[in-house]
Amino acid sequence: MAFFKEAYETFLWSQWKDISERPAGKGIGFFTRVLLLAFVVMLLLSIPQLIKLPGTISQQLSKFEKFQTSANVTMSSPIKLPGSNPVFILDTSGAYTELKSERVLITNDKIFWKPLFRTHELSTGELKDLKNNRDQVKTFLAMLAFFLLPSVLFWAFVAVWLKYFLMILLLSIILFILLDLTHWRRTWKEFFVIGCYVSLLPVLVEVIVGAIDKRFLLPVLDVFDLVTIYLIPVVVLCLLTIGAALCVYYNKKEKR
């Protein structure tokens, strides 16, 4: 409930004086919870697409008539992910021949997976004949996608968190330098805390709208093909930070 109270306070211009005086760590904590909330909402909006995932995979597999590979992989020991209590094992050495506590096991001639309680298996021969074994391959690929989803979400969260943290840090430095010699000047820490709290709207807009169609956000820059900078959230973040800083100035002016 404290988080929602803080979120409500960001819409009250009279509260920005108190917000700007909060510790930087508290601002970072609020910003992190905003991002968590955005990802939860994004997941809820993505549920229809996740439900349709097996059907989408089946539709795409129908484009294959035959899948053939001649790769010959020799391993001295199995690959385990993670290293202890693994959930995924790739082994062509013959050390593993059946699934135990793991979720996925890939051997020379078979693929085993256990989404819940029952173990499923698929031979490499069936994998090559996609046309006649589409259902088995579809089930395996859908399970693999769900298996990878948590790690994909984790790294996506880390990437967006770092992007906004650096954006807020850079914006606070720029505003501090530009306004330092004016009567609107504020400390760097105040600008940084304000940026963390006004991130509520741009973060929700980017994560939620981006899950629907990223083109609406007007992408302007790709950083190492890992993180995309969008024009709309950046402009909103800048305008809200400046507006909140003005609220702080006039609040303090009225109380003198």
The mean pLDDT of 224-235, rounded to a whole number, is 85
pLDDT interval class at 43 (50, 70, 90): confident
The mean pLDDT of 148-159, rounded to a whole number, is 82
What is the pairing mode between strands 120-123 and 219-223? unpaired
Res. 94: pLDDT tops 90: no
The mean pLDDT of 136-153, rounded to a whole number, is 72
Q: Which amino acid is at 165?
A: F
Domain boundaries, the chain: 2-50+148-255, 68-128
The mean pLDDT of 106-132, rounded to a whole number, is 70
pLDDT interval class at 156 (50, 70, 90): confident
Please state whether 224 falls in left (phi above 0), alpha (psi between -120 and 50) or beta: left
> What token pair was written down for 247?
């609220």
Return the pLDDT at 55. Answer: 66
Instruction: Say if residues 134 and 144 touch (Cβ distance below 8 Å).
Output: no
Q: Which residue has the higher pLDDT, 227 or 68?
A: 227
Residue with tokens 């992408």: 219
pTM of full prediction above 0.75: no
Furthest-apart CA pair in the chain: how many Å?
81
Res. 116: pLDDT tops 80: no
Return the pLDDT at 200. Answer: 92
